[in-house]
Structure 1
Amino acid sequence: MPQPAGLILTPGAGASRDHHTLVAVERAVAPLPTERLDFPYRIAGKRMPDRPPVAVAHLREEAARFAAALGTSTDRLLLGGRSYGGRMCSMAVAEGLPAAGLVLLSYPLHPPGKPDRLRVEHLPAIDVPVLLVSGDRDPFGTPDELAEHAAAIRGPVTLVTLPGAHDVKGKDAEVAAAVAGWVATL
């Protein structure tokens, strides 16, 4: 497989493209071209995140635009982001958006305190390399829950667990190093 040509990073539901973790990851993977994106609701100044069909359509458009700007196709791009953003990227790939891999930071496996409301239906349709970086006390999914459900992904999965909750507070350097290290193996 050729080296990835670029990385698209998306924020969690309450953040923007300028979230400190995304900025740290962009710096860590340099000189790999990176595009940090906002979703349509954020661009429009709204607080409520887009429904998946809107977010996935936006990702398709932005991935095609970024790939064209790099003179390549979306199957050479890594897609990912924090929480909601990573989930939307994983859904886009599961629904057929060609990609080189997924970078899923603090993946929201289920709402906090509601482990019965899993967001995993699409995982078996993913057949690209996947990196999952999460905190060991993440209320959106424990390391054991994440490992159990990531087993449904058909592509190779790398799980990295860091000390912390969903925000993995104060661990931007470690998150960024995990992403850069994984990207170097592709």
Structure 2
Amino acid sequence: MTETDVTTRTVGTDAGDARITWHPARRARLVLAVGHGAGGGIEARDLRALARTLPAHGVSVALVEQPWRVAGKKVAPAPKTLDTGWRGVWPALAEPGLPVVSGGRSAGARVACRTAAELGAHAVLALSFPLHPPGRPEKSRADELLGAGVPTLVVQGGNDPFGRPAEFPDGDFRLVEVPHADHGLAVPKRAETTQERALEIVTGTVGEWVASLG
């Protein structure tokens, strides 16, 4: 894939205009749609790494910008509105006629989990799932993750204040740790794991997982 293959499409939803940036595979066998978090956009390091890497392995990557980001707002709306935006882009994500893995990072992972069953997602990819607000483990969002209803992969930083891997409950999902990484999957310079290696863990894990999906 070259940069000239990348296309951007605006899609109207009941929450406003969303935007999909397509990174297509030459011979795609499925689509990985990933949404961003509440504190950033599709420029997140893990989303960009997936978009660079997976098309060569038969996976078209669709980076989805929620309407609030497209409109230039600084603060994400309520979860219900995020779900509305995601539902609105789904027909465009399914348009190629391929299985769609619904994914996202942080707040986007929650959206993917909450809507997977109703939208007919093939599976869910949860990057940096915010299991609870920092310092508030009693405010658990585990029910969203456990209720996804489809094969689910969680990729979580070892030092994520929104939920370290050991805090996750047992359940019907796979969890892979990125050692030393924080909520943005960034690793300290002093860590044994380099930033490059951290992203290799993300892309390698996701690539193997999507290849295993029936």
Q: TM-score range by the shorter chain?
A: 0.7 to 0.9
Give the conservation status (yes or no) of the 8 Å contact 1:4–1:77: no
User: Once structures 1 and 2 are overlaid, which stretch shifts more, 3-12 or 48-57?
Assistant: 3-12
Matched residue, 1:71? 97
Tell me, which stretches of 5 or more residues in structure 2 are unaligned? 1-27, 187-194
Structure 1 residue 39, shift from structure 2 partner:
1.0
2:147, 2:158 → 1: CA distance? 26
CA shift, 1:115, in A, is 0.3
**Corresponding letter in the other structure for 1:81:** G
**Counterpart code for 1:71:** G
User: Deviations along 1:103-122, whole A, 9 cap, x unmatched?
Assistant: 10110000000001111333
Is the counterpart of residue 160 in structure 1 residue 176 in structure 2? yes
Query: Is the 8 Å Cα contact of residues 50 and 61 (structure 2) preserved in structure 1?
Result: no
Would you say the 8 A contact 1:8–1:63 is kept in 2?
no
Aligned to 1:47: 74
Alignment of 1:56 with 2:79, yes or no, is no
RMSD: 1.7
Larger-Rg structure: 2
Q: Distance in 1 between matches of 2:35 and 2:86?
A: 9
Structure 2 length as normaliser, TM-score? 0.75
**Higher RCO, Cα 8 Å, sep 6+:** 1
The one-letter amino acid paired with 2:135 is: G
Identity of aligned pairs, percent?
Answer: 33
Q: Which residue of 1 aligns with 2:106?
A: 83
Offset of 1:124 from its aligned partner?
Answer: 4.0
- Give the C-alpha shift of residue 50 in structure 1: 2.0
Q: State the shift of 1:184 in Å.
A: 1.0
3-state SS of paired residue (1:168): coil
AA of the residue aligned to 1:28: T
| Inter-CA distance 14–84: structure 2 relative to 1 (3 Å threshold) | same
Does 1:19 pair with 2:44? Answer: yes
Instruction: Write 1 or 2 for the structure with the bigger share of strand.
Output: 2
Which of 20, 24, 33 does residue 8 from structure 1 map onto?
33
1:28 paired residue number: 53
Q: Distance in 2 between matches of 1:124 and 1:104?
A: 12
Q: CA deviation at 1:20?
A: 2.2
Query: Which residue in the other structure is 1:113 paired with?
Result: 135
